[in-house]
Amino acid sequence: MRGRPSRAGLGRPAEEVLDRFLGAWRTETTVRDGEGKVLAHTRGMARARRTLDGRFVEFRTTSIPPGDADLQLMTMDPATGALR
């Protein structure tokens, strides 16, 4: 069946939290050591969409300039409210 994913088993609060990640994003990350010194700084673009029957959000990033890419799968545990 095509259309909006069912999001089976998540429950409304989890759906609302995960929906905040959906769409296109500009990303910026700074990595620092324990003393605050900048070790790396990156910029990129990301796109997030529902996947796996709507139970997960697939978050794909690419760096600017191109060269690095990342894939994250996120869900929320309805029993604990923890993002995973």
Q: Where are the beta strands (DSSP E) in 1-84?
A: 23-32, 38-51, 56-63, 69-74
- Average per-residue pLDDT for the chain: 84
- Residue 19 scores a pLDDT above 80: yes
Which pLDDT score is estimated for 11? 59
What's the pLDDT score for residue 48?
96
Exposure string over 18-32, b if 16+ CB within 10 A, otherwise e: beebeeeeeeeeeee
pLDDT attached to residue 69: 92
Q: How high is the pLDDT of residue 12?
A: 67
Q: Is the pTM of this model over 0.85?
A: no
The band of 17, judged by pLDDT with boundaries at 50, 70 and 90, is: confident
